[in-house]
Amino acid sequence: MPQNRLLTLLAGRPAIFDGGYGWLLQDRGLPAGEAAESWNLENPAGIEELHEEYAAAGARFLTTNTFGGSRPRLELHGLGDRVEEVNRAGAQIARRVADRHGALVAGDLGPTGELLEPLGILSEADASALFAEQLRGLAAGGIDVVLIETMSDLGETRAAISAAHDVVPDLPVIATMSFDTNRRTMMGVDPATAVAELAAAGVDAVGANCGRGPEDMSVIAEQLTAARHDDVLVIAQSNAGLPELRGGEFVYTVDPVGMAEHARELRELGVDVIGACCGSSPEHIRAITEALTR
């Protein structure tokens, strides 16, 4: 059996992902309702600054600012005819920072926002074409890894994996689902099924991101590692808890120390790649890095 491509690419680097982007960009001036991806074109310095902070905090994977970079999502913001441009720019910004720090660039694919058949009208083939369009831009910008994240539908996830195998066949593929509904995805997928199905589809790492916070993620991670398939790695990126309204603003409940403790627990459970998601900041990633590299 060939060696896992992601493991080969890591080559001894700490397997630490970065954290949240969208909420931090809003905190730094992204207008409410505006696509975060628009800043790849209009404020690249703002995106580069956040990548730089994550890299300095110890993240070895920098995630491109392209979560909503598919045509259906960009069309909502008048950017539907600039899909490849937006994604290429997002990858190029992350590439500049990664090269300064010896880090890796993860080309981010999020859900298209469209329902697949039979619940919707989008076929897997059509979804794959949408992801392929996005990936052509990401590949031109110089990504190292494909990150398919926050998925709930196995069909849509398989479509993204198929697109990656077609457009960037030599790159490792990571796929994570969000198990936020009684530890299942919105479409009812449980962690063990995700591992089996996505391993069969040809990913290099499978796991969970987002969700309801570290306590839930630890249970999910235990199920993921118990279902570990062949040489596929396991990844976990929890939210920093859930947001609570405090003094007129929403604040996430888990501080950097809490996320560091969670990272140690994930490592003990056998999780190979660890990062964070919504509500996390470079300070959270710094604490995770220190916890995992002591």
Contact 113, 150 (CB under 8 A): no
How far is Cα 79 from Cα 71, in angstroms, rounded to an integer? 8
Q: Backbone phi, then psi, for 203, in 5-degree steps?
A: -85, 160
> Which amino acid does the sequence have at 52?
E
| 210 marked as binding residue | yes
Residue 229 contacts by C-beta under 8 Å, 6 or more apart in sequence? Answer: 195, 196, 199, 200, 206
| Cα–Cα nearest to 103, from 150, 64, 67 | 64
**Which DSSP string corresponds to 70-120?**
SHHHHHTTT-GGGHHHHHHHHHHHHHHHHHHHT-EEEEEE---S-PBTTTS
How far is Cα 265 from Cα 260, in angstroms, rounded to an integer? 9
| Radius of gyration, CA atoms only, the chain | 17
Contact 145, 61 (CB under 8 A): yes
| Cα–Cα nearest to 180, from 224, 119, 242, 124 | 242
How far is Cα 99 from Cα 10, in angstroms, rounded to an integer? 15
C-alpha separations of 275 from 205, 229, 259, 284 in Å:
13, 21, 9, 9
Annotated binding site: 210, 277-278
Specify binding-site residues for Zn(2+): 210, 277-278
